Amino acid sequence: MAIMDEKHSTHATNKPQSQQMSHTEHMADMKDMDPMNMQMQQNEDHHGMNQMEHMDHQHMSGNHGGHMMSMGNMKKKFWISLVLMIPILLFSPVMGIKLPFTMSFPGSEWLVLVAATIIFFYGGEPFFKGAWGELRARKPAMMTLITLGTGVAYIYSVYVFIMNEFVGGHMMDFFSEEATLIVIMLLGHWLEMNAIMNAGNALEKMAQLLPGEAHVQTEDGQVVDRPLADVQTGQTVVVRGGESIPTDGRIISGQSAINESLVTGEAKAIEKQVGDTVIGGSINGDGALTVEVTGTGENGYLAQVMQLVSKAQQDKSKTETLADRVAGWLFYAALTFGVLAFIFWWINADLATALSRMVTVLVIACPHALGVAIPLVVARSTSIAAANGLLIQQREAIEKARHLSHVLLDKTGTLTEGKFTVNTIKSLTERLTDHQVLSLIASLEAHSSHPIATGVLAAAKAQQLEPAAAENVQAIKGVGMSGTIAGETYEIVTAPFLKQHEINYDDRQYDQLAQQGNSVSYLISDKQVLAILAVGDQIKPEAKKFIADLKAMSITPVMLTGDNAQTAKKVATSLGIDEFKAQLLPEDKEKVVRDYQSRGDKVMMVGDGVNDAPALVRANIGVAIGAGTDVAIDSADVVLVHSDPADVVNFLKLAKATQRKMIENLWWGAGYNVITIPLAAGILAPIGFVLNPAVGAAVMSLSTIVVALNAMTLRLKK
């Protein structure tokens, strides 16, 4: 592999690491989005506004049929409806019973009608819009059931009002039940949104790591304090000892130990010096730093974290689709039971009782708990994941995790450190010395940011060699690089490339170096081998335990690499991996994934997010090692912020716990409806028990609270 590693071919055009971390290009079109901009605004306002009113959160389960509502609006609707409900309860009997506080006066019935009408059209608006969207999609679900229950109660009550006022009847209305139900539903949705907000508190706390102001260095060298929202990419900021670093950036002067634990989870302070990147929100040590801004609140690392989790929380998973489908079944079940109850009670009692029973069935059929069951769990799961360095971009990854049979692992940068050192460099021609060979190779590698190139350039620097100017440098896909130096064309290639082009080389020398765990490559010119280069990588300390943990979970680890078979076997053997595939090109990795899937296996691909993109996309679950690269964000389902493969095990454990909570909440949510709909229809009427709407609404509210509390108990046991 080495310089000819399959990843190597793409790095000649890759961005510098600092740009990868800030990820400006990818995030520029997301400025309007959200949490980080809101956080900067909060900093400007000195945090003087209540988050509940200041932030416009999306209502996750209320987003049926494309309807969205901010928490502030939902809260407002709840309080107004609650106030209007008071006269209804005071002047209208509940289920036909005059309570001790029930009063009346001439015209009180009209007051009840007006208040109930306002509640119905104003408080019930979000449910109507959601139901309209569901019906247009021909998929009745939660919001349709809510609208059906409240709509039937209101229309029936208006009919009763007309009959009582103008015909002289004495029928019982459902205004109190209609109003109570809408208020309870608004309260439930408000509580749900509040719970989702609390579930995301870990992310908001990450945003709050950024200070309100930054010390900006002007062109004339003066340092002035400016609001963080005004800091722009390319400006220079000064970070004093002990301060929070305000933006992503690159150190241009000074050195210090940076504590990134609050951002990345890395426990120990990391020594940083000129040229190193820093992350906004981390804590500076004792040293003073001057930092060139590469990413601000809009496009910095923390903004990426917030965006990834926000995206994950908005996506719909298959389990949620199941919840909607269950609600659709309940819709038809409620209609069926309602019609049957109407017919039964009309035959065995009277029209008023029949209408009352049908209304009762439709009123308490609202599956609110079912509607919030899954979103609350996923909101909690994604926030826990983010706090532990797991950015879940696709919710379906959580559900697919329980079916995994194989985890395919890229070698370099995933199982190994990706920090290469030059172990052997030898000229194979009399016209070049070893030093000249190293200088030529370094000249080509200076155009790459691959870890192997970094190792070569470090070796050249150690020997005080200045790379020569190289022209027309190009990557050779899956092979290496080529370029022109002093008018002569040079190529860095692999042993298979030499075989394919029938260029002679020493097999025994190659085997000897490869068996030592080296990645071996050759410098050639005009189809003549000029030199051999052997570069070694180190296995990550935690990799062996990670492999053992996967096996303990009955998951088969498979190592994929573009390196030679000897090196691959040595690494695989030392880690306890039984299956490995070597000398793979990027498209070969994708084919390997397809081969496993064609056998019925469910596959996770873990790669460094560079040239593993085809395999990451093809796999059932794609996991990228390291946040901040274009491919990691665009191709992977999950991103491991800490670049620690052991976090894959944490993801699998969290996915298992999340699945368990989803199933529990589905039982809580659907179980309520399965029990109460027959009771509301009067199935136990022969023994004297009939469920009324008020009790049904109370049980419904309790069910909603239960699923919310159950979701909040989700934990990750490492």
Number of domains in the chain: 4
For residue 459, give every residue at least 6 positions away whose Cβ sits within 8 Å of its Cβ, in sequence order, or none: 421, 422, 425, 438, 442
38 within a domain of the structure (yes/no): no
Specify the pLDDT at position 555.
95
H helix or E strand, kind and range, residue 488 = strand 488-493
pLDDT digits (tens, 9 = 90+) for 473-503: 887 777 888 999 999 999 999 998 999 999 9
CA 608 to chain centre: 18
Q: Given a cut of 80, is residue 655 above it in pLDDT?
A: yes
Q: For the beta carbon of residue 429, count every other beta carbon within 10 angstroms.
A: 13
User: Residue 540 — φ and ψ, nearest 5°?
Assistant: -65, 140
Q: What CATH number did the domain enclosing 627 receive?
A: 3.40.50.1000
- Shared domain check, 254 and 183: no
- Shared domain check, 77 and 156: yes
- Shared domain check, 679 and 633: no
| Amino acid letter, residue 145 | L
- 306, 324, 346: which is the final residue of a domain? 306
647 within a domain of the structure (yes/no): no
Residue predicted with more confidence, 412 or 201 = 412
Average pLDDT, the chain: 76
- Shared domain check, 631 and 554: yes
Q: What is the mean pLDDT of residues 552-578?
A: 89
| pTM for this prediction | 0.58
| Amino acid letter, residue 342 | F
User: Residue 96 — φ and ψ, nearest 5°?
Assistant: 80, 0
> Going by DSSP bridges, is the β-strand pair 406-410/556-560 parallel, antiparallel, or unpaired?
parallel
652 within a domain of the structure (yes/no): no
- Shared domain check, 451 and 397: no
- 247, 282, 306: which is the final residue of a domain? 306
Containing structural domain, residue 682 = 64-201+313-377+664-712
> Going by DSSP bridges, is the β-strand pair 518-525/556-560 parallel, antiparallel, or unpaired?
unpaired
- Shared domain check, 525 and 601: no
pLDDT digits (tens, 9 = 90+) for 100-134: 556 677 888 899 999 999 999 999 998 898 889 88
649 within a domain of the structure (yes/no): no
330 within a domain of the structure (yes/no): yes
- 481, 509, 536: which is the final residue of a domain? 536
- Shared domain check, 547 and 527: no
45 within a domain of the structure (yes/no): no
Specify the pLDDT at position 270.
72
Specify the pLDDT at position 522.
95
657 within a domain of the structure (yes/no): no
pLDDT digits (tens, 9 = 90+) for 411-456: 877 888 777 889 899 999 988 999 999 999 999 988 776 667 878 8
647 is catalytic: no
CB of 218 closer than 8 Å to CB of 224: yes
Structure tokens, 481: 């690089």
- Shared domain check, 197 and 323: yes
Q: What CATH number did the domain enclosing 295 receive?
A: 2.70.150.10
Residue predicted with more confidence, 602 or 101 = 602
- Shared domain check, 195 and 71: yes
- Shared domain check, 70 and 176: yes
Hunting for tokens 């004297």 — which residue is that? 688
Catalytic residue, from 5, 410, 608, 644: name it: 410
- Shared domain check, 188 and 105: yes
653 within a domain of the structure (yes/no): no
